[in-house]
Amino acid sequence: MKKQRIFTKKHFAPLLILVAAFLLLATPKVNASAASKKPGAVTGFTAKSDHDDCDGGIRLSWKNVRHAKEYEVYWKKSKNGKFKKYTTTSNLSCNLNIGSYFQANKTYAFKVRAINGKKKGKFSPVKSAKAVLGRPSTSLSLESENNVSVGTHFIYHSGNANLKGFELYRASSKNSKYTKIKTFKKKHSSDDVFGYNSDYDYTDANLLPGEYFYKVRNYAKINGKKVYSKFSSVESIIVPKKVEITMDNWMQYYEVSPCNFGIYYNAFGEIESLYQQHTLQLKNNYILHAYENIANSSIAVEAEYTAHKQEAIIDWQTGKVTPGAIVSEYTHTETGCIYEHNNTFYLIYNNLDKNDSSPTIETIENVTMKRIQGTIYLDKW
């Protein structure tokens, strides 16, 4: 007996038609028409002088518009001129740099509209802004003990023919009066094949110890008059004070510290051990110069002292150490050096272990400096 076929070829065609119809009906109509929707008008449109971009110029920005795929930026050179399209962008901002199109110290008008394919939204309100020179940047370094190297860098496009150079100013405090100390003419960096970068180096020489503050600004000449950028951020540097340390003056700058204790904790926050130190150290009202390779401090030290080794009573909960009976006494001479920006010379340093059944500490007295000689450079004196 033959088995009856429930599904045959004649059933397949109608079923395929039903599936296709279902998919067509299930597809959201909004997807088919979204691409053709007209975007709204641009809002939040601003046009501002761009002092902070290294190229200078004007910065435009606006808010996102629904259904917008891109934005068209229009501009005109004069009040009575005609608008023409400058660029099309998918961004919500546009930097218009000083160059062949936008000249320093000139004001331009702008408007923006959103587009979605062939559909175009309404233009934003017209906004105007003046194209300005960008701020230069500057860097400082100590060239020698009393010479400061000032470097500045800015970028310009060859279309900005009015740019002439920059001026360097200095003051003895951040908010005091600044004095112009150097004017530089524009020049191209020799390693820049495109002719875009300008770099200057200047040595401010023979400065007295103290802190110095510097700022720079670009300038252009337009119709015979100087036009300036805003000043760069203020940078400062300290020219250190050089001091020769001798047996006669060392106590003005250095002192022997009392017995100090520090605590080592384990991973559980429990006191694991203590460390004890006596040091020859720079007094708190001085700070050593910390720049590497230039103005490094170095002092040779030879100190003699009497040391008392004492029993120690230690509270391992708080880290408090109480000196007990003197176990022994000895005289010791410590020699060594204080290098660079390290302001400490250890006379005694030792650890107190929690597992030590009879820990001892050492105290010193009668410190006699047998020899101390060298040079220090101070940032604070």
DSSP for 323-358, written as a single string: EEEEEEEEEEEEEEEEETT--EEEEEEEEEETT-SS
Q: φ, ψ for residue 14 (rounded to 5)?
A: -60, -35
* DSSP states along 7-44: S-HHHHHHHHHHHHHHHHHHS-HHHHHHTTPPP----S
367: pLDDT confidence band, cut at 50, 70 and 90? very high
pLDDT of residue 10: 53
CATH superfamily of 46-130: Immunoglobulins (2.60.40.10)
What single-letter amino acid sits at 111? K
CA 153, chain centre distance (Å)? 16
CATH architecture of 137-239: Sandwich (2.60)
Instruction: From 370, 367, 371, select the one nearest 305 (Cα to Cα).
Output: 367
Dist. CA 70–CA 75, nearest whole Å: 17
pLDDT of residue 339: 87
Dist. CA 6–CA 4, nearest whole Å: 6
Given a cut of 60, is residue 157 above it in pLDDT? Answer: no
In whole angstroms, how far apart are CA 148 and each of 216, 267, 294? 15, 47, 11
Dist. CA 130–CA 50, nearest whole Å: 9
184: pLDDT confidence band, cut at 50, 70 and 90? confident
Dist. CA 265–CA 242, nearest whole Å: 40
Q: Which residues contact 101 (CB under 8 A, 6 or more apart)?
A: 86, 159
- What percent of the chain is modeled with pLDDT above 70? 85
Note whether 46-130 and 137-239 share their fold. Answer: yes
For the chain, the average pLDDT equals 87
Q: Which residues contact 45 (CB under 8 A, 6 or more apart)?
A: 60, 61, 62, 63, 110, 111, 112, 124, 125, 127
Burial (Cβ within 10 Å: 0-12, 13-18, ≥19) of residue 285: exposed
How do the domains of the chain map onto residue ranges?
Answer: 46-130, 137-239, 243-380
17: pLDDT confidence band, cut at 50, 70 and 90? low
340: pLDDT confidence band, cut at 50, 70 and 90? confident
**Stretch 12-28: mean pLDDT:** 54
In whole angstroms, how far apart are CA 104 and each of 154, 228, 232, 254, 334? 15, 10, 18, 57, 68
194: pLDDT confidence band, cut at 50, 70 and 90? very low
What single-letter amino acid sits at 146? N
Per-residue HEC secondary structure of 286-331 comes to CEECCCCCCCCCEEEEEEEEEEEEEEEEEECCCCEEEEEEEEEEEE
24: pLDDT confidence band, cut at 50, 70 and 90? low
What single-letter amino acid sits at 106? K
Q: Is the entire prediction scored with pTM above 0.95? A: no
Whose tokens are 């120690």? That residue is 312
pLDDT of residue 371: 97
pLDDT of residue 160: 60
